[in-house]
Structure formats: structure tokens, C-alpha cells
Structure 1
Amino acid sequence: MTTTELGGGLDGGGERGPLPPRALIVTLLGLYVREFGGWISVSALIRLMAAAGVDEQAVRSSLSRLKRRGIVEAERHDGVAGYALSDYARQVLELGDRRIFARPEEHSRGWVVVVFSVPESERQKRHALRARLSWLGFGTVSSGVWIAPGHLADDARAVLEADGLQPYVDLFSAQYLAFGDPAEKVAQWWDLAALGQLYAEFVDTHAPTLASWAARDDAPAGHQAFADYVRALTAWRRLPYLDPGLPTDLLPASWSGTTAAETFFALHALLADPAHDFVTAEAGAVRPG
């Protein structure tokens, strides 16, 4: 299994259209199952996913795929069939916590530059490197030179070490000195138009959900709060990885990322607690033993 299958949504959360069941399951594992000891019974997972509109067959099929990828491991507790998060999955989900739930902020204008060279006999490693760097939000200067804002240096180091790719990489801290307009360069290194469209789609899908909950007289509760929150988080969690967190003055004037972040964090504030309460009500089936 690789990091690209988890926090950034490339387990399926990055696909257009309806959210894949496996992406929703990874969100649930990351949100709640770690808290409940890192294991969940199959029956509890089926019930919780039913509340999010996923049928039993889709859950079982998704679990099989996640097991093959090393994200979960089949375990029985007191004779009850279930799944536990792998150690590697826990590690990557912890990294995702910092990235996904951090509000956007302004950072310094420094850069981190990755220079890599992979022998032709190890082309698979070259593909893996490019996938990891894309997942982290790096832009492409040239085939073996990738760049990101300096605040991503620690994440880059951790992910490349976790995947055993550091022998092929040199990591540099840098400043842009000359000979061009940084905003124009950024537009060459990243596809900001495509990222902006993803943000706009997130707003189009989830802003109505936020407005609907905000207009209600009663407090959010129950399976619908859980379903709406899990779906919003599943759609959101890939975006902070695709977005490198560029300084505001280097972004397009009509940047939809700001509105998308406001939408997600408003939904988080409104629905996270009632969604947690709903899952806690299932705690007897979720907890080990």
C-alpha cells in the first residue's frame, strides 16, 4: 500500500461523480475507528455505511479491495469478524489529520525543491515518486525537478522516508530570485484552473447542504448529520493535498478555494459533533470485545 491510497483521497475520493464506497469507508476508519481501538466489526461497518447510503454488497467488496491494498487487516475479536487498520494506514491517517483539518493560512515565500533521478531499471520507483509528489501538492518545474511552498518540507520528508524513496531524492530549501514573474511561473508549475474547478464543484455540491442545516430550527442530529458530514469530508480530504497552499498574491483573482474552505469548515463546525454522537451510539458494536 502507498500513501496515495489514503489521506489525499486517491483511494477513490478523487474520482468525479458519486463518491466510491471505499473512499467513504476510509473516511469512517480515519474519523472514528482509531478512536474506538482501531478495529470495527463487519456488522457495525455495514450498519454505519447503510446510514451513508451504501449497501452491504458494496461495503464487503470495498473491504476486500482495501484489504488487498494493505489498508485494513482482517481480524476476529471474541469470534466476531472485523477489520483493523494496518500500522501504515494509521501513520498516513495521522499525517492526514494535520493536513485536512488545518485552516488555510499565509506562509512565507520560501520554497522546497525536490530533485530526483531514478535508474531506468527502477521505473516503478520513478512513477511512485511522481505520484507521491503530486499527492503532496508539488508542482512540476521539469521532469526531475519539483517544487512546493516551503511549509510542505516536513510532510515531503516524512512521506518519502515512509515509502523508502529517499535514496533517489535531494531536498532543497530555496528562494526565487530571477528571472520572471512568480505568479506566471506558478501558473506553469501547477494546473490552478483544474484545482479551482474542483473547489468550485465542492462548493456547488456541499454549500446547499450547509444552507439546509443552517436554516433548520432543530440542532443537527442522527444518521443524516453523519451521512452529510462523512460525504463532505470524503470529498474535501483530497483537496488540501492537491492544493500546495500558495501565497494569496500568486493565486488567480477569482480563487474558489477560499469559499470551499469556508464551506467545509462551517459544515465541520455544525456536523462533526452530532456525527460523532451518532457513531458513539453504535459503540457497543464498533469497539473491540
Structure 2
Amino acid sequence: MTSFDQAGGAPRPQSLMLSFFGIHVLDRDVAVSASSLIDVFGQAGITEDAVRSTLTRMVKRGLLDRHRRGRKTYFGPTIRATGVLRDGHDRIWHTGAVNRDWDGTWTLVGFSLPEAWRSERHDLRSRLVWNGFGPLQSGLWVAPGTVDVPGAVAGLGVDPYLRVFRGATAVAPTDARTVLHTAFDVESVAKGYEAFLARWGTDEAQGADRTGVLVRQLLLHTDWLEQVRQDPHLPAEHLPEDWPAARAEEHFHELAHRYEEPARQEAGRALDVIRTTAP
């Protein structure tokens, strides 16, 4: 399996790269050679040019540091990228896909940016979506539970244009279910989990042996993180009884644990790494 064959498209190289560093580099104080990354990503169907251009963009964006050792070039995550990777790790392994602990409250964000701030508006909306917000109505976004809005929008320079409220409880004639189905595409989130189950339920996807397990692990984690990114962690009590998130998460955990050790061994053989801090 070299791509999400049954999906609507292949994973983006940067998404795969972040997954790779999150699995094999996070908290290890190491950097990986460009040649190793080219070899591994080539098995996932990513060309050498695409790998090199992705690495260059990620360095320019402050996500990767470049380290030179003789004629070789190595890449490791920056402090900024480490925060992104740890956030993804926590979202997968700690927050989980099913929200059974919602206390009935919401975080509300209202904003009105200058008309010329198109890029800032796009970045703000992207940050809000990643942190579980959905558009309730013009200029007003809502997320279930408590969200650290200052942390979510840090660095965007939009604080003076935001109005943030927390602890609001929906009251008649508004109800929680209406808010969920207005602000979020609930059906699309469910279809995403069903599609994940369909993609990873085949023998080909799971792998009949350990050949290429490092790449399968990489594709699995990237695919799953894409699913949870699209899920605003909706309260389970207001979702259908057959909500597929729990089944999909259980299947992801099963495959992730199955791949973990053989992928670690394959990575040990395949990756050329250097330490980035003194022993």
C-alpha cells in the first residue's frame, strides 16, 4: 500500500513528513539525513523532488532545522515544530476521538478583521477549525467545552479583533443538537471515519507480512491524524448511537500497536541519524 488507494486523494508530503517526525524523532534530539527521508518517502510514492521541496519549505516556515555533516544534510524539528508534533500526539493518544466528558458548556469566538486581511482571516479560521471550532453564524464561531483561544491564535496578531466568551450554556429556543448541526458538518465527520475503516480494513492495507511496515505505519498515522483534525470532538451524547468514531479509533489503535515494534526495527536499519544535542 503506497497511498490511500481507496480515498479521494494521496496524502500531502508535508502531512507525511510531520507524521514521520512525530513517530520517529519527537523527543529524541536527533536529525535524519535527507537521503534516508528520500528512500522512505519513495516507498510511499513521493518523488525525490517532492521530498526535497517539502523539506525546503518546512525549513523556511520554521518547522525544520538543517544540520550539515560533511557532504550530508540532516533535518530535525524546531521548537515550533515540536509543539505541533506534541499537539498531534496528544490529540491521537490522550484526547481521543470520542468526547464522553462534555460538561454542556461552550467557547465562543467572535471576530471582525479588516477587509484587506484575507491571509490573516484564512489563518485564523484554520486555527479555529484545528482547535474544534465551527462557524455558528457570520463572525461567530463555537466549540464544545473549554478551548485555550489565546494559545490557539498565538502569533497571528489578531487579538484586538477577537471577542471570546466561555461557559455559555445553550437555552431555549436554542439547543445543543441544533448548535452542533449548524456549526459542524456532522455527516461529513461520520463519513470520514467510515472511509478510514474501509481503507484500513483490507488485507492489503494492513499488510500480510512485515514488508514495508515502516511506510504502512506512516500512512496509517497520517490518515488517522487527518480524521481527528476534521473532527471537532463533538459531544457523544448528542451524536447518533452508531457514531463510527469509537470503532475507527479502536481499529487505529490495533494497527498502530501491531506496526510499532517492526516499524521501529525497520527504522533502526533504514534511517541515518545524528544527535542534535551533546550526549
TM-score normalised to structure 1 length: 0.81
Partner of 2:41: 49
Distance, in Å, in 1 between the alignment partners of 2:205 and 2:66 is 40
Counterpart in 2 of 1:5?
Answer: none
Matched, 1:272 2:260: yes
Q: CA deviation at 1:209?
A: 4.7
Q: Which position in structure 1 is the counterpart of 2:91?
A: 99
Q: Distance in 2 between matches of 1:250 and 1:260?
A: 19
Q: Residue 157 and residue 238 in structure 1: after superposition, are their counterparts in 2 closer, same or farther (change >3 A)?
A: farther
Determine which of 149, 156, 177 is the counterpart of 2:171.
177
1:77 equivalent among 51, 63, 69: 69
TM-score by length of 2: 0.84
Q: Is the 8 A contact 2:26 2:85 kept in 1?
A: no
d(CA) in 2 for partners of 1:211, 1:32: 21
CA distance, structure 1, for counterparts of residue 32 and residue 104 of structure 2: 44
Q: Which has the higher helix share?
A: 1
Partner of 1:10: none
CA distance in 2, matches of 1:48, 1:37: 20
Letter in 1 for 2:52: R
Partner of 1:115: 110
Q: Superposition pairs for residues 126-165 of structure 1, below 5 Å?
A: 126-151=121-146, 153-154=147-148, 156-165=149-158
How far apart in 2 are the matches of 1:69 and 1:16? 27
Letter in 2 for 1:110: T
Contact 2:110 2:140 survives alignment (8 Å): yes
Aligned length: 266
Pair 130,33 (structure 1): closer, same or farther in 2 beyond 3 Å = same
> Aligned with 1:76: secondary structure?
strand
Supply the RMSD in Å over aligned alpha carbons: 2.6
1:166 alignment counterpart: 159
Instruction: Give the letter for the 2:230 counterpart.
Output: L
- Cα deviation, 1:115-167, whole Å, max 9, x if unaligned, reads 2222224343222211211222211111211111114x13x432212444333
Alpha-carbon separation, structure 1, partners of 2:242 and 2:131 = 24
Q: 1:54 to 1:263 in 2, by over 3 A?
A: same
Distance 1:121 1:62 in 2: 29
- State the distance in 1 between where 2:139 and 2:33 align: 45
Q: CA deviation at 1:232?
A: 0.8
Contact 2:19 2:222 in 1 (8 A): yes
Summarize deviations over 1:217-238 as a string: whole Å, max 9, x none.
xxx64x5221211101111112
Structure 2 gaps, min length 5? 1-6
Residue in 2 aligned with 1:64? 56
For residues 181-260 of structure 1, the aligned pairs below 5 Å read 181-209=175-203, 212=206, 221=210, 223-260=211-248
Aligned residue number for residue 273 of structure 2:
286
Q: Deviations over 1:200-219 (max 9, x none)?
A: 11111012259955xx6xxx
What one-letter code is carried by the residue in structure 2 that aligns with 1:241? R
Equivalent position amino acid for 1:161 in 2: A
Counterpart residue identity of residue 177, structure 2:
A
| Secondary structure of 1:161's aligned partner | coil
* Residues 45 and 144 (structure 1), Cα distance of their counterparts in 2 relative to 1, 3 Å cut: same
Partners of 1:40 and 1:288 within 8 A in 2: no
Q: Percent identity?
A: 29
